[in-house]
Amino acid sequence: MRIAVIRQKFVNYGGAEQFVSGYTNQLASMGHAIHIFANQWTPSNHPNIKIHSVQAIKRNSFLRVLSFAWFALQSIRSESFDIVQSHERIWRQDIYRAGDGCHREWLERRSRYLPFIKRLFFRFSLFHQLVLRLEKRIFENGECKKIIAISEMVKRDILKHYQLPEDRVRVVYNGVDLHRFNPSNTKDFRSEIRQQLRISGEEVMILFVGSGFERKGLEYLIKSIQYIKQENWRLVLVGKGKWKRYLDFASKENRGKITHLEPIDEIEKMYAAADFFVLPSIYEPFGNANLEALASGLPIITSRNCGVAEIITPQKEGIILEEPSDSKAMAKAIDYLMDSKTREPMRQSARLLAEKFTQERNASEMLQIYQELIEHQ
């Protein structure tokens, strides 16, 4: 099968990017010819993966989205494919994977946390108007044959805001590389990484992984640390963004306990060094980093606004926050996981849950959808 996959960034860092990389490698290893259309990429050595360069004007977000959508359309028209699957909002695709969720729902939720003036800016922003227009076209005009929602939450959001038949939206959960993200990494990397970060074996390492700090709820995590009763903790942030401004939410004493790292290729080493994981997002369609943490045997603290919350049993694999901005509730959850006796059974449950969400299962479900579409052409 010749499959075109459209994604602006085909790189090795970032949860969504790593998912696409793992997913396409899985399909390529099954013998399918994968054609990646991207603006930024990490070269692939797989013989069944070919990368096509797509132009984009990067002057601002509006031009970047508009130009990539246009040039991607021209690129895929030049060849013939069995399936065209886009991970970006463009004008033509057989399948759209709503990895970013429903933009209209994201704007609605984000507005709850913004002052009035910023809410107005969001409403009339050219960038957001463009994204909403592309999104509406994909969901409502019928040319896109199947919408892939990566959680039941995303499916509900799409059907809430747009008029389309429910059977056009299929939920396919993400898969994770269970070999790469594995509790066995602890014995190999825990001491090494902690020495590099100057974190002692007695200190509890809290890990946050994600770029787009506002959406990921970093402000609320930083605000919560003033309420933590325990003192032997360190917070490690891994992600790209203006992180220093978030330090203003911490006391001078606590700022020394926070370490920031830019995105790294070997992120599995960070999970191996950590004791538990926190991602209190305002809106998270699924949260690949949550799944990576679970696969690594880490209990997680996440919010009800994360799609991954629908697969979590509270107090078994992690803790679900009903409201990400409730910093006292978050501090209480952190204090709960500070006890190693509490974490140990949760570590085992976390891994067992992640083992249900393999890359093989994800690829198999997608191939079934491809086959259904081809048979009905």
How many Å apart are CA 278 and CA 354, to the nearest integer?
Answer: 16
**Does residue 89 lie in a domain region?**
yes
170 and 214 in one domain?
Answer: no
List strand residue ranges (DSSP E) for 228-356, in order: 233-238, 258-261, 276-279, 300-303, 318-321
CATH number of the domain enclosing 250: 3.40.50.2000
Strand residues in 142-299 grouped as ranges (E) = 146-149, 169-171, 204-209, 233-238, 258-261, 276-279
The verdict on residue 196 lying in a domain is yes
pTM over 0.85: yes
Looking at the fold, whether 167 and 212 belong to one and the same domain comes out as no
The two beta strands, 146-149 and 169-171, are parallel
Residue 137: how many CB atoms within 10 A of its CB? 16
Task: Please tell me whether residues 161 and 206 are part of one structural domain.
Answer: no
- Domain membership of residue 180 (yes or no) is no
Shared domain for 167 and 196, answered yes or no, is no
Are 55 and 133 members of one domain? yes
**Domain match, 209 and 257 both:** yes
Same domain, 36 and 156: yes
How many structural domains compose the chain? 2
Domain presence at residue 234:
yes
Same domain for 367 and 308, yes or no, is no
- How do the pLDDT tens digits run along the chain, 377 residues long? 999 999 998 877 667 777 888 889 899 999 999 999 999 988 888 999 999 999 999 999 999 999 999 999 999 998 999 999 999 999 999 999 999 999 999 998 888 877 777 777 777 789 999 999 999 999 999 899 999 999 999 999 999 999 999 999 999 999 999 999 999 999 999 999 999 999 999 999 999 999 889 999 999 999 999 999 999 999 999 999 888 899 999 998 999 999 999 988 899 999 999 999 999 999 999 999 999 999 999 999 999 999 999 999 999 999 999 999 999 999 999 999 999 999 999 999 999 999 999 999 999 999 999 999 999 87
Same domain? For 160 and 194 the reply is no
320 in any annotated domain: yes
State the Cα–Cα distance between residues 50 and 248, nearest whole angstrom: 45
Answer whether residue 231 is part of any domain: yes
Domain presence at residue 321? yes
The parent domain of residue 68 ranges over: 2-175+358-375
121 with 255, same domain: the answer is no
Same domain? For 159 and 198 the reply is: no
Q: Are residues 126 and 216 in the same domain?
A: no
